[in-house]
């Protein structure tokens, strides 16, 4: 058993506590060495200093809802979901909010709403996803069509890094070290090699750093591999006073290539795709029945508009609906709050609905690919064809406006070769993403799942720069090893299902499954351990 560090907060290395943290969202089950909950930033700094001296890996974790496996591992899980930092400090005049790493986006938006403000990015996990977690993956969500990912909304942050030193980074300061200068020296290569996609959480954001000159942009999306984000200052925006929603039922996938540029031009806030694979899976749910969906539709696009007047949003939605009818799509305007809620509830409840399906296990092995929007139809066809040929049922949904799709593989665990089929699906679909000029992750990060794809996306020279950046922040290699630059070469292993899955106490395994099915990621995992 590992010796406990000098920690004022909680330290647990017993079997039940370790088992309770063996899973997050996604496909993995890996039992950690211990669990740490630092009391505050000073306590965290001491923990990092101890880890540097003892060469102990530290794995940052918020709510545990990350899909790519960056929140599990064999080292010490550092749970920051209840981290004591600035609670929520709103500066309404400056439209800024300063919060600690453990503050969820849901709580932040509740506080901001009292001042008529909000954080525009809206991940489906916002109710529980923590500030530290969403910054670590550069999370986005449905409203990214208009407002982008969280990156441009982060004004400043604090990082506990090498030897436990806490550093404040703010936009516009122009700080540099050798790794940053190396990035600038390779500006031409970076501009040539980085894919032209609307969203990208694959690798480190060298391209954004070249544009902004801000180290903040390198830390966002780094998945805790450069240090621990302990607090952030968010930019806020006024809450629009009016909104409207529209449902377009597609008769053909090719219409997406025409639709998305039109929605961007019209200023749509969100454009969410529910592919026929998803519609067939959920057709018997109350939400689908209330919308009159039969499961035979080729696809449905849920569109949201926001503005400062009711007339504005209604006229834009009506104009878009008219275009949809001319393009052969069935258009349904949802102008009441009840209708909009029904449309958006179906999309936001996608993952729990799929997790609860009987006879299959939802395993997200290719769940975040992003391609240029004009190639989205090709990508969907490629996913369907690979799944058909390999005999793997898949469910497709996601952010059509960004070319970003989530693909859940509904694995039949009674099939003897189910693992080999998932391996083949991973290889074929990711190869297609890259061939289409896309990236394996648009908003969920690389984690343990996609890091081995980085060289295929960017080439060895860019991956070499990634390595230099990592070493400049973490020469001891203690921050989230196994994520991004040193990810496993065989990613579909250490699964939470199958005969090789690590054994857990039965009640804890059941509790973790309930969290997955119910979307209960706000639950304290030690409640499972101590019940």
What is the model's pLDDT at position 133?
Answer: 96
Q: Which of 149, 151, 153 is nearest to 117 (CA)?
A: 153
User: In 3-state terms, what secondary structure has residue 349?
Assistant: coil
Residues 6+ apart with CB under 8 A from 486: 451, 477
Q: Is the dihedral of CA 505, 510, 513, 519 positive or negative?
A: negative
Decide: pTM greater than 0.75: yes
Question: Where along the chain do the CATH 3.30.70.2190 domains lie?
Answer: 242-348
Q: Digits of tens for pLDDT over the chain (531 positions)?
A: 678 898 999 999 999 999 999 999 999 999 999 999 999 999 999 999 999 999 999 999 999 999 999 999 999 999 999 887 778 999 999 999 999 999 999 999 999 999 999 999 988 888 899 999 999 999 998 899 999 999 999 999 999 998 899 999 999 987 777 778 889 999 999 999 999 999 999 999 999 999 999 999 999 999 999 999 999 999 999 999 988 888 888 888 777 877 888 888 888 999 999 888 888 887 877 777 777 778 788 888 988 899 888 888 888 888 888 877 777 778 888 766 777 777 677 776 777 778 877 778 999 999 999 999 999 999 999 999 999 999 999 999 999 999 999 999 999 999 999 999 999 999 999 999 999 999 999 999 999 999 999 999 999 999 999 999 999 999 999 999 999 988 888 899 999 999 999 999 999 999 999 999 888 899 999 999 998
What is the model's pLDDT at position 308?
Answer: 86
Tokens read off for 24: 């997050």
User: The domain 357-444: what is its CATH number?
Assistant: 3.30.70.2740
Q: Which residues of 269-298 are buried (b: 16+ CB within 10 A; e: fewer)?
A: bbbbbbbbbbbbbbeebebbeebebeeebe
Q: Which residues pair with 399 in a beta bridge?
A: 272, 404
pLDDT, tens digit, for every residue of 137-163?
Answer: 999 988 999 999 999 999 999 999 988
**Top-level class of domain 1-170+199-239+446-531:** alpha beta
What is the model's pLDDT at position 1?
Answer: 66
| Phi and psi torsions of 37, nearest 5° | -125, 90
What is the model's pLDDT at position 115?
Answer: 98
What is the model's pLDDT at position 87?
Answer: 82
Rounded-to-integer distance, Cα 226 and Cα 487, Å: 15
Specify the DSSP element, H or E, that contains 395.
strand 393-399
What is the model's pLDDT at position 373?
Answer: 92
Q: Is the dihedral of CA 250, 252, 253, 257 positive or negative?
A: negative
User: In 3-state terms, what secondary structure has residue 387?
Assistant: helix
Rounded-to-integer distance, Cα 481 and Cα 447, Å: 10
CA count, 13 A, side-chain hemisphere, 365: 31
Residue written as token pair 């969906």: 293
Rounded-to-integer distance, Cα 501 and Cα 298, Å: 37
User: Does the structural domain 242-348 have CATH classification 3.30.70.2190?
Assistant: yes
User: In 3-state terms, what secondary structure has residue 90?
Assistant: strand
Q: Are 169 and 231 in contact (CB under 8 A)?
A: no
Residues 6+ apart with CB under 8 A from 414: none
| Phi and psi torsions of 166, nearest 5° | -95, 130
Sheet of strand 330-334: strand arrangement: 330-334, 242-250, 299-307, 270-275, 393-399, 404-411, 361-363
Q: Give, in order, the Cα–Cα distances in Å from 210 to each of 204, 217, 440, 462.
A: 12, 9, 22, 14
Question: Where along the chain do the CATH 3.30.70.2740 domains lie?
Answer: 357-444
Extract the runs of DSSP E, i.e. beta strands, from 236-312.
Answer: 237-238, 242-250, 270-275, 299-307
Question: What is the number of residues in the chain?
Answer: 531
Q: Are 41 and 78 in contact (CB under 8 A)?
A: no
Q: Which residues pair with 91 in a beta bridge?
A: 96
Tokens read off for 133: 């977690």
What is the model's pLDDT at position 179?
Answer: 77
| Phi and psi torsions of 519, nearest 5° | 65, 35
User: In 3-state terms, what secondary structure has residue 251?
Assistant: coil
Rounded-to-integer distance, Cα 254 and Cα 298, Å: 11
């Amino acid at each position: 058993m590992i010796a406990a560090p000098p920690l004022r907060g909680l330290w647990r290395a017993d079997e039940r506590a370790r088992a309770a943290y063996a899973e997050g969202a996604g496909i993995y089950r890996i039992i950690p060495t211990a669990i740490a909950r630092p009391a505050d930033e000073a306590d965290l700094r001491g923990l990092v200093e101890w880890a540097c001296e003892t060469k102990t890996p530290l794995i940052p974790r918020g709510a545990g809802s990350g899909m790519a496996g960056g929140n599990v591992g064999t080292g010490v899980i550092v749970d920051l979901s209840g981290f004591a930092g600035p609670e929520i400090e709103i500066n309404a005049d400056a439209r800024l909010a300063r919060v600690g790493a453990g503050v969820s986006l849901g709580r932040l938006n509740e506080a901001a709403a009292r001042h008529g403000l909000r954080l525009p990015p809206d991940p489906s996990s916002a109710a529980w996803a923590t500030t530290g977690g969403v910054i670590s993956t550069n999370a986005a969500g449905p409203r990214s069509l208009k407002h982008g990912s969280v990156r441009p909304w982060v004004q400043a942050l604090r990082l506990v890094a090498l030897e436990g030193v806490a550093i404040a980074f703010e936009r516009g300061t122009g700080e540099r070290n050798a790794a940053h200068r190396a990035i600038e020296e390779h500006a031409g290569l970076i501009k040539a090699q980085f894919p032209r996609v609307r969203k990208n959480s694959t690798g480190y954001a060298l391209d954004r750093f070249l544009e902004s000159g801000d180290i903040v942009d390198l830390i966002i999306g780094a998945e805790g591999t450069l240090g621990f984000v302990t607090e952030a200052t968010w930019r806020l925006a006024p809450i629009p006073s009016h909104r409207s929603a529209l449902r377009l039922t597609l008769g053909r996938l090719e219409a997406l290539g025409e639709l998305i540029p039109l929605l961007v031009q019209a200023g749509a806030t969100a454009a969410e795709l529910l592919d026929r694979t998803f519609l067939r899976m959920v057709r018997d749910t109350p939400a689908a029945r209330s919308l009159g969906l039969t499961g035979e539709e080729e696809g449905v696009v849920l569109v949201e508009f926001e503005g400062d007047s009711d007339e504005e949003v209604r006229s834009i939605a009506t104009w878009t609906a008219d275009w949809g009818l001319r393009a052969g799509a069935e258009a349904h305007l949802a102008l009441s709050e009840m209708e909009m809620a029904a449309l958006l509830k179906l999309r936001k409840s996608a993952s729990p609905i799929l997790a609860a399906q009987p006879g299959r296990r939802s395993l997200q092995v290719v769940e975040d690919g992003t391609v240029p929007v004009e190639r989205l139809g090709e990508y969907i066809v490629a996913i369907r064809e690979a799944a058909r040929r390999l005999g793997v049922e898949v469910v497709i949904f996601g952010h059509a406006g960004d070319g970003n799709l989530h693909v859940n593989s509904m694995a039949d665990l009674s099939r003897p070769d189910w693992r080999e089929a998932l391996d083949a699906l991973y290889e074929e679909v990711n190869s297609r993403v890259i061939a289409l000029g896309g990236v394996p992750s648009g908003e969920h990060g690389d984690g343990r799942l996609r890091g081995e794809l980085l060289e295929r996306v960017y080439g060895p020279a860019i991956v070499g720069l990634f390595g230099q950046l990592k070493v400049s922040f973490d020469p001891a290699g203690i921050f989230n090893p196994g994520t991004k630059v040193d990810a496993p070469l065989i990613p579909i292993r250490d699964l939470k299902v199958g005969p090789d899955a690590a054994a857990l106490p039965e009640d804890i395994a059941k509790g973790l499954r309930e969290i997955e099915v119910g979307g209960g990621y706000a639950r304290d995992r030690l409640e499972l351990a101590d019940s």
